[in-house]
Chains A and B, each alone.
Chain A
């Protein structure tokens, strides 16, 4: 190794320190810039009508996104009802029964693959399977798409959380004569409940901000969501449509919707993370 003068080495070290501090600062500034923009522009659109009224035609005063807010909540709720039980079941099987078996390895790989599949591909898949066959866009198709995105995340998180529960606890329950299902649901689940809950919440938060998979499944609608068998209004696709429109008041509404979605997703994430941090102290 070539000997270098101390001044040179200190100089290099100092410049790297400065660069890396600046990079961290850059990250913070970008976060602040994005959140600040959303807050500033979104707050201008938020008022009572925003939460209570249907969208108005461009140029008309007033109008809100009440239908889209409700639609997003309903679609997310339905997707949780489909995705979480199946995901938990898969997680239980992987952690309790499958473990190191060949099949478990294959399922894990499939779950990883599904997790890394772009959400728009899941949208295309559900479009072909559900929209093309029934001939119409529907809220159900949107919820199924979100459920598929949620499924592998819930499964892998559940597996990790269940695997953390010490085997002695399972064995103690089984030794008392508890059937396996009761030991799993009553004892192991209870021991892992914080992890299961927070993991699921994080997955739901992520999915509720998704847009691409809803573009051609739930589509969008200017009306109240009355049935899950027709296009259902939702916030994220509304943002896309309104932002791409040439009308100023629609773009303002899009910013309002952005603020709402960001607050919802970030709020859930921060509260969940805070809870994990608080519990782990």
Chain B
């Protein structure tokens, strides 16, 4: 029998697929490099002061990131403060309370929230939710907490509070679905032994399920945090886009992403552009840090639980 001689494609195949993998590495490297080079003029001119200056005046070429960074952090914080407890109780509902059919239906609906494009949240936020907030929620907040500077000022709807609430809605499905999976991984035997001792559902959740799955829940929160911090369109629509820091959550502000979305195409001179790219660099740096912490956390968790990977 004669074997047909043929060219061995295997090495080529191997290299070709490796090229795909290296492309990812190369892209991440070039994004870092490009952002740093692009931001260089602003880095040189403003130095570390860029992060602590509140002035943003393209006409006088004065740029500072403080209000954008502040807006990013505050809107994300509001979003997480609302989303985390809400996600926890929804996950509790899905795993412990609802009958399977209801749980699947509600779970699916909550996951659909994640599939809605962010610009749709923006449209709804600007035209529907912000007016609702201005008419019904903000006056009520002011009257409930009369002295609190957080809830002072004219109820205009758009602003930090609206951005935070919409961010909460957007990260809710991510945290909920991971938390639900984590809750489901708790062995039935462990839960049943607690029920057998006469615990109520809430006691089982608080003293058995939650401690068992707390690591995973924290991981889920990091996931949500990572998404919220770079969210652009929804925030751009509702945050008000004003380069000022104000104590009230009702006031308009801006975030790094919204500043980029609004001003990038308008950047007329090199320094303006460099300052915007430096804002992008700051945002990239923040996501990098979150990602590192999340990885570290997950690895620590895996080691603690004795898992292989």
Binding site for B on A (CB under 8 A): 9-10, 12-13, 16-17, 19-21, 23-24, 26-28, 30-31, 33-35, 37-38, 41, 85-94, 96-98, 103-104, 106-107, 109-114, 116-125, 127-129, 148, 151-152, 155, 179-181, 184, 205-206, 209-212, 215-216, 219, 236, 239-240, 243, 251, 254-255, 258, 261-262, 265-266, 269-270, 273
Contacts and interface: CB of A to CB of B under 8 A. Distances in A.
B204 to A, nearest CB: 10
Given A113-B288, A151-B27, A261-B120, A94 B10 contact: no
22 contacts: A17-B201, A27-B90, A28-B106, A89-B19, A89-B21, A93-B20, A97-B18, A110-B28, A114-B24, A116-B227, A119-B232, A121-B283, A124-B276, A125-B35, A129-B30, A205-B115, A210-B117, A212-B118, A255-B123, A261-B117, A266-B115, A269-B112
B210 to A, nearest CB: 12
B245 interface: no
Given A20-B93, A93-B21, A9 B200 contact: yes
A35 B149 CA distance: 34
A180 B8 CA distance: 10
Interface in B81-126: 86, 89-90, 92-94, 97-98, 106, 108-110, 112-113, 115-124, 126
B22 interface: yes
Contacts of A30: 113, 169
Interface of B is mostly: helix
B106 A27 contact: yes
Contacts of B73: none
B68 to A, nearest CB: 12
B264 A216 contact: yes
Contacts of B90: 20, 23-24, 27
Nearest to B277: A124
Given A243-B123, A262-B120, A13 B202 contact: yes
A179 B230 CA distance: 44
Interface of B: 8-10, 12-14, 16-25, 27-28, 30-31, 34-35, 38, 86, 89-90, 92-94, 97-98, 106, 108-110, 112-113, 115-124, 126-128, 169, 172, 176, 200-203, 205, 226-227, 229-233, 236-237, 257, 260-261, 264-265, 276-277, 280, 283-284, 287-288, 290-291, 295
A106 B25 CA distance: 8
B119 A240 contact: yes
Contacts of B288: 113
Given A93-B18, A98-B21, A107-B22, A265 B117 contact: yes
A239 B121 CA distance: 12
B116 to A, nearest CB: 6
A83 to B, nearest CB: 10
Contact of A114 (B8, B12, B28, B108): B28
B93 A236 contact: no
A156 B92 CA distance: 29
Contacts of A122: 31
Contacts of A19: 89
Contact of A26 (B21, B86, B94, B257): B86
B17 A216 contact: no
Contact of B123 (A20, A107, A151, A254): A254
B92 A107 contact: no
B113 to A, nearest CB: 6
B34 A261 contact: no
B107 to A, nearest CB: 9
Contacts of B283: 118, 120-121
Listed from nearest, the 3 A-B pairs whose CB atoms lie closest are A118-B230, A89-B20, A209-B117
